[in-house]
């Protein structure tokens, strides 16, 4: 296996190969995460064509088996708040050194073959050499608590590449839903309006 770095990918043959890997790697996660983790094909093509993004690909012969994309201009993404980082990490922002891992995908067959380590040796080494603040996020299915999970893996990878590099927990976002379905059931609606329930409300 070997690693290549790309920017401004517009070749459709390469785009198709990378999309196939991306799609296979995300298969199943749509049912595990409330957010839409996977990009639409048009968004994917636009992202890999953006010259400010760094695309790293691990190949097994002529087949891509792992891939990560790092946005070096967070203003070009819809995911991060520039104002937040200007307030909390002003020095990094002044240097243009707040970068964002938009995705890190490994083909399921290659997950246990050290593919992610190969990506890390190339990608994280460059981020470390630039003194970047490398932002990443993870759905609850891969990060059920602040500790462990994907964050711990990234911490270990960073230490193996660059020594001591702390991982900061920035924020936890939770999703809730109000379920009005019971109100659509006439029996449930009547039960909500019984004299007993009215007295309780008083």
Q: Hey, what domains does the chain have and what are their CATH numbers?
A: 2-176 (3.40.630.30)
Q: What are phi and psi of 161, to 5 degrees?
A: -90, -45
Cβ atoms of 48 and 105 closer than 8 Å: no
* pLDDT tens, residue by residue, 107-150: 999 987 889 989 988 999 999 999 999 999 988 888 899 999 99
CA–CA distance, 74 with 198 (Å, rounded to integer) = 53
Q: Could you tell me which residue, 99 or 112, shows the higher pLDDT?
A: 99
List, in sequence order, every beta strand (DSSP E) within 37-76: 53-60, 63-71
Question: Could you tell me the pTM of the whole model?
Answer: 0.86
Give the full edge-to-edge strand order of the sheet including 133-135: 2-6, 53-60, 63-71, 98-106, 133-135
Average model confidence (pLDDT) across the chain: 90
Angle at 144 between CA 140 and CA 145, to 5 degrees: 130
C-alpha to C-alpha distances, 82 to 8, 135, 162, nearest whole angstrom: 23, 12, 26
For residue 112, what are its two tokens?
């246990």
CA–CA distance, 75 with 51 (Å, rounded to integer) = 13
So what's the pLDDT on residue 110?
93
CA–CA distance, 125 with 20 (Å, rounded to integer) = 27
Measured in whole angstroms, the distance separating CA 40 from the mean position of its chain's CA atoms is 14
């Amino acid at each position: 296996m070997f690693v290549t770095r790309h920017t401004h990918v517009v070749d459709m043959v390469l785009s198709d190969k990378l999309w196939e890997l991306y799609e296979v790697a995300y298969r199943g996660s749509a049912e595990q995460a409330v957010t839409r983790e996977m990009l639409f094909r048009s968004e994917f093509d636009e992202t890999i064509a953006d010259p400010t993004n760094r695309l790293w690909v691990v190949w097994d012969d002529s087949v891509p088996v792992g891939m990560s994309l790092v946005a070096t201009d967070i203003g070009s993404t819809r995911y991060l708040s520039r104002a937040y980082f200007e307030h909390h990490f002003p020095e990094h922002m002044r240097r243009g050194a707040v970068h964002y891992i938009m995705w890190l995908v490994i083909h399921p067959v290659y997950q246990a073959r050290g593919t992610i380590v190969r990506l890390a040796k190339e990608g994280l080494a460059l981020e470390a050499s630039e003194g970047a603040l490398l932002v990443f996020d993870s759905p609850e299915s891969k990060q059920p608590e602040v500790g462990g999970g994907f964050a711990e893996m990234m911490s270990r990878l960073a230490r193996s590449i660059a020594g001591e590099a702390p991982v900061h927990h920035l924020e936890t976002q939770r999703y809730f839903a109000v379920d009005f379905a019971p109100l659509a059931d006439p029996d449930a609606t009547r039960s909500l309006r019984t004299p007993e329930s009215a007295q309780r409300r008083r």
